């Protein structure tokens, strides 16, 4: 089966990237997902904007879902989120903030800037895996509902 879902993970922590990949494998979601990984905010902004080394949209296509950490090098996650939501090509892509921050201000600011959900990274691998599965399943349900709604229009 070919991957049907393109997920852009914007995360600078190598451990969390490994955990994310292992969580996909553990839940068997790795078979249905094409994972794109960017490790800093500047690359994320360039990818979303289709600029510089990411200008070839055939090679660097628009993702179906974005999982975004807030504390990124070069460009902060809030600024990446602003770019996503201000770009006509990407403004409707669901974005989940996946951060260690449990600060009320970070959660409120993320949602105000257009994030669809905010999830705090669990400390255990089991919790991490469950959270990744929940994020992906939630997106798949959203996608199914959007497709059903489009059938009625």
For residue 61, what is the enclosing H or E element?
A: none
Number of domains forming the structure of the chain:
1
Whole-number Å distance between alpha carbons of 26 and 10: 20
Residue 51: its pLDDT value, please? 92
Q: What are phi and psi of 150, to 5 degrees?
A: -65, -30
Distance of CA 98 to the CA centre of its chain: 8
Whole-number Å distance between alpha carbons of 146 and 115: 18
Residue 56 belongs to domain with CATH number: 3.40.50.2300
pTM higher than 0.95: no
Give the chain's mean pLDDT.
Answer: 88
Q: 93: domain range?
A: 5-152
Q: What is the pLDDT of residues 17-41, one digit of tens each?
A: 999 999 888 888 778 888 999 999 9
């Amino acid at each position: 089966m070919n991957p049907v879902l393109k997920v852009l993970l914007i995360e600078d922590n190598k451990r969390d990237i490994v955990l994310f990949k292992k969580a996909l494998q553990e839940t068997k979601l790795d078979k249905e997902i094409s994972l794109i990984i960017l490790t800093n905010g500047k690359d994320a902004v360039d990818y979303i904007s289709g600029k510089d080394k990411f200008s070839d949209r055939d090679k660097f296509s628009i993702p179906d879902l974005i999982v975004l950490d807030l504390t990124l090098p070069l460009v902060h996650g809030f600024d990446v989120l602003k770019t996503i939501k201000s770009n006509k090509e990407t403004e409707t892509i669901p974005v989940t903030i996946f951060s260690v921050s449990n600060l009320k201000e970070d959660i409120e600011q993320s949602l105000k800037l257009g994030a669809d959900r905010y999830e705090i990274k669990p400390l255990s691998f089991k919790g991490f895996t469950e959270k990744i599965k929940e994020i992906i399943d939630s997106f798949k349900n959203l996608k199914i509902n959007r497709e059903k709604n489009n059938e009625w229009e």
